[in-house]
């Protein structure tokens, strides 16, 4: 029977050691199987767990179908020299959390268009250097080029939000220039065979035309002139209006209530903050694009209200006025068909924010081409990933398990072999030894000798310092 030197590893300690090692190995295996595997599976395949709302409708597909991925208010933050390590780590993790949502859905859904409905960044007051830094993070960490995912390149559209260029009275030439340099024009139109997407600077729409002290009036004139030109176009297809600020609604329809604040007196219309467009501007947009004598079917998409909302605007018969009503969908897909009396009117989709605290949401807007009617039937669903804690937990626990696996299956056995000593088995008459367990040295040493004749007793030797010490 092999035994160890009592001063180094008594049998009870060795047993405890072996139990501790095996226990750690069992814990690592159990944690990996019951925690890491489910977390990793959900994190990278979460659309499969929500297949009813995280996929396009299974109806027949046509090359003319529209497949829009809508991202609301990422509002990525920044750090400076005074920021703590925790803040920097949180920003780093948040970038990759948002990027994970995009990179998971893009190759899976292969959209025709990707639209970020404004508030790309968290503040319009940042310097040009910080704006450039966040732009690089936005493009390199979050919304990376589709070629990296081996998927067809969609049309990628970025709308300006109040945290990108400011509300009406805060919009300046420098803020507009730096936004348009990296993300394209504030006011634009993308036209297809049977549809058009019109994006515009909704922050300046309600601005004052007399607000010339810093040039804000020019932006208000620009957006109004642009929209008037598009209203005059004799377009018979489907119009999709893309705006950051939602249209006006009475209190209680959506989470956000009507809210407006101004610089100075209200009569000056120097807007400081607004939750939605004014009722006057909202009615003007609805009549101009969907009123009498125009194509009365289309969709309006926007963000700003982080909780999201889904409503339907219907025109009052015989009047150039529109009513609005909420659509209760729960966690299901909603189908909008303007020829159906239950869903007639204009659909307005306010996309719930993709920020972690709101659940990492993405809007899926599908326009299915109806060849018989030569127009689109739209469906919308909201696909949530979950709070950012899921992403953090997946990576942190996976790293811990990986480190624990190295220790349990490689490190501890390796250390055991190094500290166990070298044992041999021999036979000889047992002499009396005086061992000092404190100093770990034997006061009696014996040389290794051949077995003697007569009765032989098995003994063990521990080699130390070139001498063989008998182990009792």
What share of the chain has pLDDT > 90, as a percent?
54
Per the CB < 8 A criterion, the answer to whether 300 and 348 are in contact is yes
Q: Which of 22-31, 154-163, 315-324 has the highest mean pLDDT?
A: 154-163
* 114: its two tokens: 């990707």
Average pLDDT over residues 57-78: 90
Tokens 């948002």 sit on residue: 98
More confident residue, 318 or 106: 106
User: Sign of the CA dihedral 59, 65, 66, 69?
Assistant: positive
Q: Report in angstroms the alpha-carbon separations of 256 from 26, 275, 347, 353, 423.
A: 51, 7, 18, 13, 77
Residue 271 belongs to what H/E stretch? strand 271-274
More confident residue, 65 or 457: 65
Question: Which residues have C-beta within 8 Å of that of residue 315, sequence separation ≥ 6?
Answer: 286, 290, 291, 296, 321, 322, 323, 345
Considering the segment(s) 56-385 as one domain, its CATH architecture is 4-Layer Sandwich (3.60)
The pLDDT, as a whole number, for residue 229 is 96
The pLDDT, as a whole number, for residue 427 is 43
The C-alpha atoms of residue 437 and residue 472 are separated, in whole angstroms, by 12
Average pLDDT over residues 379-391: 94
pLDDT tens column, 405-450: 787 777 666 655 555 443 334 444 444 445 455 444 444 444 545 5
The pLDDT, as a whole number, for residue 471 is 47
* 352: its two tokens: 């719930």
pLDDT tens column, 174-186: 999 999 999 999 9
Tokens 């176009």 sit on residue: 233
pLDDT band per the 50, 70, 90 thresholds, residue 404? confident
pTM above 0.75, yes or no: yes
pLDDT tens column, 188-247: 999 988 999 999 999 999 988 875 556 788 999 999 999 999 999 988 889 999 999 999
CA-nearest of 369, 365, 373, 379 to 336 is 379
How do the domains of the chain map onto residue ranges?
1-49+387-420, 56-385, 422-472
The C-alpha atoms of residue 210 and residue 202 are separated, in whole angstroms, by 18
pLDDT tens column, 278-323: 999 999 999 999 987 676 678 999 999 999 999 999 988 878 899 9
The C-alpha atoms of residue 337 and residue 468 are separated, in whole angstroms, by 92
In which region does residue 318 sit, left (phi positive, over 0), alpha (psi from -120 to 50) or beta (all else)? left
């Amino acid at each position: 029977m092999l035994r160890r030197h009592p001063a180094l590893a008594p049998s009870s300690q060795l047993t405890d050691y072996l139990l501790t090692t095996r226990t750690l190995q069992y814990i690592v295996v159990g944690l990996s199987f019951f925690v890491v595997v489910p977390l990793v599976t959900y994190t990278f395949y979460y659309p499969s767990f929500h297949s009813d709302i995280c996929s396009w409708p299974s109806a027949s597909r046509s090359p003319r179908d529209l497949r829009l991925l809508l991202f609301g208010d990422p509002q990525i933050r920044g750090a400076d020299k005074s920021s703590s390590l925790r803040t920097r780590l949180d920003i780093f993790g948040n970038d990759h959390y948002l990027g994970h949502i995009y990179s998971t859905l893009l190759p899976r859904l292969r959209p025709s268009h990707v639209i970020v409905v404004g508030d790309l960044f968290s503040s319009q007051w940042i310097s040009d250097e910080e704006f450039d830094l966040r732009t690089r993070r936005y493009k390199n960490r979050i919304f990376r080029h589709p070629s990296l995912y081996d998927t067809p390149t969609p049309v990628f559209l970025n709308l300006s939000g109040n945290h990108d260029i400011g509300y009406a009275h805060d919009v300046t030439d420098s803020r507009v220039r730096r936004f348009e340099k990296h993300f394209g024009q504030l006011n634009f139109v993308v036209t297809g065979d049977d549809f058009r997407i019109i994006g515009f600077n909704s922050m300046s729409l309600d601005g004052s035309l007399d607000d010339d002290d810093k040039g804000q009036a020019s932006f208000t004139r620009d957006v109004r002139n642009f929209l008037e030109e598009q209203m005059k176009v004799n377009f018979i297809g489907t119009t999709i209006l893309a705006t950051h600020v939602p249209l006006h609604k009475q209190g209680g329809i959506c989470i956000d209530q009507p809210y407006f604040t101004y610089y100075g007196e209200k009569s000056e219309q120097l807007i400081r903050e607004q939750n939605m467009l004014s009722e006057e501007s909202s009615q003007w947009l609805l009549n101009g694009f969907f009123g009498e004598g125009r194509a009365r079917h289309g969709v309006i998409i926007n963000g700003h209200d982080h909780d999201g909302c889904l409503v339907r605007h219907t025109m009052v018969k015989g009047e150039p006025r529109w009513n609005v009503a909420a659509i209760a969908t729960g966690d299901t897909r909603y189908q909008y068909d303007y020829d159906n009396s239950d869903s007639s009117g204009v659909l307005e989709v306010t996309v719930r924010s993709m920020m972690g605290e709101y659940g990492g949401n993405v809007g899926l807007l599908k326009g299915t081409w109806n060849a018989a009617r030569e127009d689109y039937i739209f469906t919308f669903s909201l696909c949530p990933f979950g709070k950012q804690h899921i992403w953090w937990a997946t990576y942190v626990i996976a790293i811990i398990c990986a480190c624990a696996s190295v220790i349990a299956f490689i490190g501890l056995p390796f250390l055991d072999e190094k500290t166990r000593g070298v044992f041999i088995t021999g036979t000889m008459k047992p002499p009396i030894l005086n061992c000092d367990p404190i100093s770990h040295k034997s006061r009696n040493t014996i040389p290794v000798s051949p077995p003697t004749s007569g009765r032989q007793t098995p003994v063990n030797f521990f080699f130390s310092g070139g001498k063989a010490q008998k182990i009792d």
